[in-house]
A = this chain, B = another copy of it.
Amino acid sequence: MENVTLNVSGMSCGHCVKAIEGSVGELTGVQKVSVDLENGKVNIEFDSNAVTLDQIKETIDDQGYDVA
């Protein structure tokens, strides 16, 4: 299991939190995802054998947010 914290910009409200936690959380291999709205950070715990970091980043991007 790996753990990464991404810097994500454009998250502004509770809907944004739900959009990201919902979409990333649905990915196979993602164990846990939590959004820190105030600091623009998303922490993800995932199994790198089941899902890649790139797939996670792409999922966040697809929701309309910029991943640094």
Contact = CB atoms under 8 A, between A and B. Distances in A.
Interface of A: 10, 12-16, 19, 64
Contacts of A10: 13
Q: How many copies does the complex hold?
A: 2
Given A10-B13, A13-B13, A15-B15, 7 more contacts: A12-B12, A12-B13, A13-B15, A13-B16, A14-B64, A15-B16, A15-B19
A15 B13 CA distance: 8
A64 B18 CA distance: 15
A62 to B, nearest CB: 14
A13 B13 CA distance: 7
A24 to B, nearest CB: 16
